Amino acid sequence: MKISFKKLDNELPTPSHAHEGDGAVDLYARQAAAMEPGERTKVPTGIAVAIPIGFAGLVVPRSGLAAKHGVGVTNGPGLIDAGYRGEIAVLLVNHGLKPVHIARGDRIAQLMVVPVVEQELVEVDELPDSPRAEGGFGSTGR
């Protein structure tokens, strides 16, 4: 699948897959940021995309940032709808115990494009039974 994108900052690398078969492309910080433990910040990426109808973009965390520094995506995954054409920004959070500094050009998250199905919610008086029923959080054991 080809996805059109616009570079808003020509000094940043072009998003690409690190390896053949990878599920997402890296997103880069357009500006530096600093986060104390527990803080969150919005970091622009310097690109805008045109995701085709029938698909959505998911902004997911980078495992290296999470493992090394405790940095994740606040609303992970972030959702980019097909009609959005503005700059992608990443909402990062520092779950770690030390301050984290993001430099301009650092890889901060990944963009994964996935198919979506059109949904229509239909209100009913009763839902059909299922084996799980109303079993929710922790209902399957420890």
* Alpha-carbon distances of 89 from 19, 58, 60, 128, rounded to whole Å: 24, 12, 12, 40
Minimal CA–CA distance to 58: which of 132, 116, 119?
A: 116
What pLDDT, on the 0 to 100 scale, is given for residue 125? 97
Walk me through the domains of the chain, giving residue ranges and CATH numbers: 4-115 (2.70.40.10)
The confidence band for 2, taking pLDDT boundaries of 50, 70 and 90, is very high
Mean pLDDT for the stretch of residues 5-19: 94
Flag whether pLDDT at 66 surpasses 80. yes
The confidence band for 137, taking pLDDT boundaries of 50, 70 and 90, is confident
Question: 3-state DSSP call for residue 130?
Answer: coil
Across the chain, mean pLDDT equals 94
The confidence band for 135, taking pLDDT boundaries of 50, 70 and 90, is confident
Flag whether pLDDT at 136 surpasses 80. no
Residue 62 CB contacts under 8 Å (≥ 6 apart), including other chains:
26, 107, 108, 109, 110
What pLDDT, on the 0 to 100 scale, is given for residue 77? 94
Question: How many whole angstroms separate alpha carbon 46 and alpha carbon 88?
Answer: 7
Flag whether pLDDT at 8 surpasses 90. yes
Question: How many whole angstroms separate alpha carbon 22 and alpha carbon 113?
Answer: 12
Strand segments, DSSP code E, in the chain are 4-7, 25-28, 33-35, 40-50, 55-60, 71-73, 78-80, 87-94, 100-102, 107-115
